[in-house]
């Protein structure tokens, strides 16, 4: 996710995020205004995030789960394939500069 890569701090090949960065991530707060599909996506995002945390604690590769999380967020915010490619390219470019 481009926002996290720009706001995070490089730590080896990964990004390290502080609490303030995580609190600044734009999310939808009023669940009553969301559709069932959006609520389901948010639940899957929460579950996948917890799975990533668990995998990291066990020092297991999180690449596949990270990709799943990216797709879930893209779907939640209605980001199309072309926009996804732009975001992915931006992330790769940003990583190479850090």
The reply to whether the predicted model has a pTM over 0.85 is no
Give all strands (DSSP E) within 1-98, no chain letters: 9-11, 14-16
Is residue 37 assigned to a domain? yes
User: Domain limits at 51?
Assistant: 28-97
In a domain, 63, yes or no: yes
pLDDT of 53: 92
Three-state SS for 15?
strand
What are the 10-residue block averages of pLDDT along the chain, 98 residues in total? 49 57 62 89 93 93 93 92 91 83
Structure tokens at 31: 């669940």
Residue 88 lies in a domain: yes
pLDDT for residue 27:
62
């Amino acid at each position: 996710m481009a926002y996290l890569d720009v706001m995070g701090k490089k730590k080896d090949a990964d990004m390290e995020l502080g609490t303030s960065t995580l609190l600044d991530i734009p999310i939808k707060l009023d669940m009553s205004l969301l559709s069932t599909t959006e609520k389901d996506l948010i639940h899957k995002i929460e579950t996948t995030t917890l799975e990533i945390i668990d995998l990291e604690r066990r020092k297991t590769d999180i690449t596949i789960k990270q990709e799943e999380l990216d797709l879930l967020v893209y779907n939640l915010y209605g980001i199309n394939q072309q926009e996804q490619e732009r975001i992915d390219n931006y992330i790769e470019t940003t990583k190479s500069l850090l």
